[in-house]
Structure 1
Amino acid sequence: MRAFQVTSHTQPPAIADAKEPVPQEGEVLLSIAACGLNFADLLMAKGTYQDTPNPPFTLGMEVCGTVIAQGQGVSSPTIGTRVAVFGGQGGLSERGVFPADLCTPVPDDMPAEAAAGFMVAYGTSHLALARRAKLQAGETLLVLGAAGGVGLTAVEVGKAMGARVIAVARGQKKLKAAQEAGADHLIDCDADDVKEAVKALGGADVVYDPVGGDLFKAALGACNREARIIVIGFASGDVPPIPANILLVKNISVIGFYWGGYLKFNPSALTDSLTELMTWYTEGRLRPHISHVLPLDQAAEALDLLRTRKSIGKVVVTP
């Protein structure tokens, strides 16, 4: 079978011939229909992600596929079931093995491309806002990088939870996508003073930050008292220092959030969240935005769309 593999952190990943995996105890073998890409895939290729496997390994953290074989002790999901699963690796391949207890059935009316790009982005926003920040209806949510893979979902989830959403993105095309996802107010970080624009709108009660760098600093300056800042990632490449004196004076909380970390200490939090989100999808409350869909032969180009920030929403590869 073909797989898009990392053989060395000093060489770019490439298509390789790989041996078909055999499901072990507690695992299922999937025929992979679609794989959603994430910024973490770029970090894994360079060896800088916190959970990077030793080479060689296949990139691709989240997939949608059909169960074609079961390992010992697996009774569910059954063969023929279409599922979504976050495996951390192995998704950019024609077939792959994944833990059965992490698989979530996919609604019949949900395209594979939507399901594959659903878990990390929506799961991150849902758990971060509901569990960690405890976002309340009527509060003001400031979303940085609001047109990215997770940013757009934070806008949607925040609106679904009853928040007033301020979206920050670069350029009118990306801001339009955020507006269509439900943002109440739009700020162009290339043209506007983000700190002053947010303050003019009454300040932020919760900040969702997958960007870091100067935008983190601007958001911190626009926080209301008792605001919560959720640190999602550092797409800017800049990990900002946090001035503790400002946190103290304004009673601000900075909250770290790593969605994949729950796999190790509380996987049921992920599966419960995903089950609720699938219900929201069937109810029409969520509309996944797929920016690009490319075949496995163009996996390198798909990753480059993330690297150069040319995508709006999710990039998906279909093995």
Structure 2
Amino acid sequence: MATKEFITPDASGSPDVREIADALHLDFALEKKFKRFNEYLKKCTDGTHVLFPHLGKPGPDDWLRNHPTPPEPFLTWQTKLSRNDVTSTRNTIYILPLGEFLSQGSHSATAKPKDGGCSGMTFLSDLEVYTKLFFASMNVKLLTEVPLAKLKCSTRNHTVSEGVKRPQLHVPGIFTFMKNMIPEDAYCVLGVTMVDLYPKESWNFVFGRAMLQDRIGVFSFARHHPNFFNGAKSIEVSTLHELTPDEYQLLQWRAIKVLTHEIGHMFGLQHCVYFSCLMNGSNNAEEGDRAFSFLCPVCLRKLQFAIQFKFLARYKSLMKFFQERSVSGSKFAECAQWIEKAIAIA
């Protein structure tokens, strides 16, 4: 199929059934051990079931309006040289907390969350658990937190809304630090922080950045915090226990989406234009909230090829994660309900 832009700045060009079939390139003869998985992908894309929403026309501030993106079919992804393969010696995803998530008493393991909020330790623990379930078959380890002063990167106080300034960390400086501490068995190391980021002086901010060949990335949860644009409220990890259950779950839902999206880039998944998908690009938190919580069929096929997970067991584990933590009517509850539908189709 000839390369083209499915989404242009002026119109929506969501792919049709034939284009999706070409992008998936399912081979039932050569992939007999994945027959059920491939049948599931086929049922989800041939019009039999409407499980994955299509992209709509991008708005003026949306990612695709400003960054028209060509599609990346499975075969193109499979053969590109920039993709890092998982090996027997590089098979661990490391999560590196940047800043004080665990050490302060106000968010220790024994902290009592106000009105059902949560501590920094539980927040990180849930991120680690979810990453293990999402990237099933990969090892996932949480590294010891690094104090911000140890990064020795440039910082600035930046205006994020009228009358509100927040501190920001310079991404290149963080990468300089991270390059010197990559474990031998690391598939990738992902720095996470509750401090806003900027890549260069001319930019207002960046959600995150990755260096695929160096196997490192960093991303911030700051702009996903419900109080980020409220100058009267702190967004430090030490105040997580002050969030209401709904506020905390919103932050947690946003955080696991950002985390899995950025790790997806480490597996060579580019921004998706096939469906509403976890791998869609986003220019702002609002667009990020609209993005789907899971991988679309094309991106799911790529990840399954990369790490060879058992897709039904993976779905069931993810559903259990959401069910055990969901607040009634929350995004977690919606995620659990969607996975239940996916399992029924499979």
Normalised by the length of structure 2, the TM-score is 0.27
Hey, which of these two has a bigger chunk of strand by percent? 1
Larger relative contact order (CA 8 Å, sep ≥ 6): 2
Normalised by the length of structure 1, the TM-score is 0.29
